[in-house]
Amino acid sequence: MSGEAVGRRGARGWAVDTALFAFGVFSWLYIVGERVKLGMPSPSWLFELDQVAGLAALGLLWVRRRWPTQAAVALVIASSFAETIAFPSLVMLFTVIVRRPLRTAAIVYAAALAAAAVYLLVRPDELGFAGGMAFAVALYAAVAGWGLFVRYRRQLEARAAEAARAERERARQRARDELARELHDLLGHRLSLLSLHAGAMEYRPDAPAEELARAAGVVREQSHLAMRDLREVIAVLRAPIGELPQPRMSDLRALVEEARPGMRIELIERVEGEAPDRSGRTAYRIVQEALTNARKHAEGAPVAVEVAGGPDEGLTVIVEHGPGRDAGPDGERRGHGLIGLEERTALAGGRLEYGPTDEGGWRVRAWLPWTA
């Protein structure tokens, strides 16, 4: 609509304007022919002036998109004495009602009725003044009603398009938020492993060469994996036409094995069948975040991971670790990771609970619906 407001036409615009111009030419020829048959107006020069005004009005049809108000005012003035501009005047009134503020349209509408009254006084016809005004009011009201209908229909379409754009933007923002959580989960997991093994190398320089070499290998591998994950996230953020590879429940054992160097982890799986993608992915992220927190806050503590469930009872995930060197409920409770897990679990339709155990450790427990 903004393009049309400055006078630009697409193929449809050219077709519409050409059709209007062609019909305007026909109406001009018809009115001139009828006036010749019915008799010339008095004074006689008024007929020549009427024809010139009609031809000029046909030219104004081509600028109605750029200057509708100015063209409408010119035709309103001419309509006080000319009859050959009837069709262009109606088209211009319709254009002003559709494209310009309602206040401007109301002024042009009132001016058109006033010009009709002047025309009936200057050039009275067989309907008389009252009959002519009644006809003018009905005709202009029909054009105005049609214009208002088109105007509000376009407004509704514009609002619907804006709502669709806003929804697409919200969807993109939700996708970016999800990517931010994925970035936190992926890199937090990798970097916690790096910190663990780099710390072991720093604090135990007298360790056997084989153990130091193994720790260095883990650091090197996790560094490469962290860089790979970061490149994948940045690629999606730059051109969000796909998604990061999403983990599934079947990847849980690989996650635990990856985290096992430097940690004592017991994994118990009692899952009937293949968990749905969303619940499986959420369970994976819960375990991943819980293992990351265990490395950060309870280094050296044993960790128990239990995943159980099925189609009837849903999916239950429990991750519990004992007290460690940095154990303390406040450190984990205030972390952004657990807050993010609460949001992720709620989006999946589940529940998440976490807190200290009686032995001084920490437990994360989640339930997820099987149908998520």
The pLDDT, as a whole number, for residue 143 is 92
Distance between CA atoms of 115 and 99, rounded to whole angstroms? 22
| pLDDT value at 32 more than 80 | yes
Residue-wise pLDDT for 283-331, tens only, equals: 998 998 888 888 778 877 899 999 999 888 899 999 998 886 554 444 4
| pLDDT value at 197 more than 90 | no
| pLDDT value at 6 more than 50 | no
Distance between CA atoms of 245 and 173, rounded to whole angstroms? 19
Distance between CA atoms of 34 and 51, rounded to whole angstroms? 13
The stretch 250-257 carries a mean pLDDT of 86
Burial class of residue 3, CB neighbours in 10 A (0-12, 13-18, 19+): exposed
CA 85-91-95 angle, to 5 degrees, is 140
The pLDDT, as a whole number, for residue 245 is 60
Distance set, CA 61 to CA 47, 75, 197 (Å): 22, 11, 79
The pLDDT, as a whole number, for residue 50 is 85
In which residue ranges of the chain is CATH 3.30.565.10 found?
A: 247-372
Residue-wise pLDDT for 344-363, tens only, equals: 888 788 999 998 888 888 99
Distance between CA atoms of 339 and 232, rounded to whole angstroms? 24
Distance set, CA 62 to CA 20, 88, 186 (Å): 9, 10, 61
Residue-wise pLDDT for 163-194, tens only, equals: 888 887 777 677 666 666 666 666 666 666 66
The domain made up of 247-372 is a member of CATH 3.30.565.10: yes
- DSSP assignment letter at 275: P
Pick the range with the lowest mean pLDDT from 21-35, 83-97, 225-239, 339-353: 225-239
pTM reported for the whole predicted model? 0.46
List phi, psi (to 5°) of 315: -120, 125
The pLDDT, as a whole number, for residue 236 is 55
